Structure 1
């Protein structure tokens, strides 16, 4: 099944299945930069996590700046966790639905014109549990995988569920006006195929 996933281009679905079948149960790192690059659903949720909070974060930082007497301040910020469903086929098969939030710091420093300059340095986080829910079935290449059959492997000790988590690269956003565009996703770098030596030991 995992080989079929790689054959039709669903390399991360194959990778995650491999990790499940190896039965170690160890946490798997997620390539969030590549997820953001590939999947519009995650990009939209990540964008909303900033636009929905930016006014509050900006005001909180400005209040701290004024209390400091105009000295530079840095405050940590974090959005609430939000559930979403992947729309990219590879990531849908690899993860399905997951939780995401945005964490970072807002920095306020005196600008050259004497006005405060406000910036947000942030990263997108994703986490989920790799498990199978009876009652569902998913076609992967020429094979239809039922969740009941895959869950049975975990119950009988032939495979093991595991946690998945990861964080994207740190990005910068000007909070001075909050009207600019968010940065494009960071360069995802490696292609994530089986020849990628960074695939948590699952390359072969």
Structure 2
């Protein structure tokens, strides 16, 4: 029971360090419901640009595949759904990318789904597409590794946090969510990446702003 109180204090300490997502996810763990939680994907992809890049690469590959199929079949202006496979090896958010998200999630799964319409190019060179898509993220919140962190002068380890679940004082849960709809209208270049939009911009809002 004593360590449960320490863990609860860590929620406050993590938020004070600016690790708002790590604090939120730990708080949900300690609430002991096991209910799923939306990890706020737009904020994750904004704070971890490398993950955003990988997510858009998944969408890029599917858009190119659909565009190539349309050109080969000489079939245009037909909306086509696509769904990228979950990134086989997953994506690991290390502390060098974001300490907040490292402790909030760590390793995550990413995929992309959407609708693409291919239009014939007036120049006959690169096909033109209009696309709406979302990025999806999945992870299981648990403490089964070998991480440790000092928060507020107290060392928190995976082993001790996982013991709370075993003792029935906390509960693991799934995290699933999607980005907002992203839109792109333009060419599919033969060389280089499609100029797909990134996550909504920089972190704004004050600490009293509930949307922060």
TM-score (norm 1): 0.81
Distance in 1 (CA, whole Å) between partners of 2:56 and 2:157 is 34
Deviating more after overlay: 96-105 vs 171-180: 171-180
Structure 2 vs 1, CA of residues 89 and 153 (structure 1 numbering), >3 Å: closer, same or farther? same
Verify the 8 A CA contact 1:4 1:142 in the aligned structure 2: no
Distance in 1 (CA, whole Å) between partners of 2:98 and 2:205 is 15
Structure 2 vs 1, CA of residues 79 and 170 (structure 1 numbering), >3 Å: closer, same or farther? same
Q: Deviations over 1:135-192 (max 9, x none)?
A: 4323334322111111111111100000001111111224632454221312578759
Verify the 8 A CA contact 1:102 1:123 in the aligned structure 2: yes
What displacement does 1:14 show? 0.5
Q: Which residue of 1 aligns with 2:6?
A: none
TM-score (norm 2): 0.79
Q: Which residue of 2 aligns with 1:151?
A: 162
Q: Which residue of 1 aligns with 2:18?
A: 9
Are residue 97 (structure 1) and residue 104 (structure 2) matched?
no
Map 1:125-164 to 2 at 5 A: 125-164=136-175
What displacement does 1:50 show? 2.8
Verify the 8 A CA contact 1:119 1:172 in the aligned structure 2: yes
Are residue 84 (structure 1) and residue 54 (structure 2) matched?
no
Are residue 56 (structure 1) and residue 56 (structure 2) matched?
no
Verify the 8 A CA contact 1:58 1:175 in the aligned structure 2: no
Distance in 1 (CA, whole Å) between partners of 2:11 and 2:203 is 23
Q: Which residue of 2 aligns with 1:106?
A: 116
Q: Which residue of 2 aligns with 1:33?
A: 42
What displacement does 1:81 show? 1.0
Verify the 8 A CA contact 1:61 1:107 in the aligned structure 2: no
Structure 2 residue runs of 5 or longer lacking an equivalent are 1-9
Q: CA RMSD in A?
A: 2.7
Provide the aligned length of Structure 1 versus Structure 2.
193
Q: Which residue of 2 aligns with 1:168?
A: 179
Distance in 2 (CA, whole Å) between partners of 1:59 and 1:118 is 11
Distance in 1 (CA, whole Å) between partners of 2:198 and 2:57 is 14
Distance in 1 (CA, whole Å) between partners of 2:35 and 2:48 is 25
Verify the 8 A CA contact 1:99 1:128 in the aligned structure 2: yes
Distance in 1 (CA, whole Å) between partners of 2:206 and 2:151 is 18
